[in-house]
Amino acid sequence: MEDKERIEEQIGKLENVHRHDKDILLFLQLLNSVGKYIKKRKVNAHPDAIKLLNSVYDSLENVLSSPNISSDEKRQKLLDQVGAFKKLKEQIAQKKSESDIRNAFHNAVNPRAIRTTPLAIPTTHGHPDMNLCHIPPSLHG
């Protein structure tokens, strides 16, 4: 059994044990999501993904090993991790968008390049820092 399968098995057991604690279940979902991302992307995973995985695990371990922790403290630890997860997702999306733009530019200036994917059109949608061009929603395909 590979490590990822063991981790998923342990997460499943913990989800069963803590099925009535939504905060713990969300910690476990975060662990599972980040773990799956790392497994899928391997060496191409965002460098902060491992840091986030360790941080979520440490917070969960702290919550589980502190029987006197208040629900507010537990919730705050969870919210901190959810915020870090959202930030990582945004960084990954931005990195992918930047990569798509580089590829589109390369393909535009190198007509001999073989296009295996549709040409990406850079937009400002969701990326206020990227003031390249604005395409009306009616023109999006």
Residue 31, domain extent: 3-139
pLDDT of residue 133: 46
**pLDDT tens digits for range 95-119:** 888 877 777 766 666 555 555 555 5
pLDDT of amino acid 105 = 66
d(CA 95, CA 59): 27
> Are 113 and 106 in contact, with CB atoms under 8 Å apart?
yes
Q: What domain count does the chain have?
A: 1
Sites in the chain below the pLDDT cut of 50: 121-124, 126-134, 138, 141
Confidence (pLDDT) at 95: 85
Helical H segments across 18-70, by residue range: 22-41, 47-64
Contact (CB, 8 A) for 74 and 93: no
Q: How many CB atoms lie within 10 A of CB 38?
A: 18
pLDDT digits (tens, 9 = 90+) for 58-73: 999 999 999 999 999 9
pLDDT of 137: 59
pLDDT value at residue 96: 81
Measured CA to CA, the distance from residue 77 to residue 59 in angstroms comes to 7
Q: CB–CB of 4/41 below 8 Å?
A: no
Model confidence, pTM: 0.66
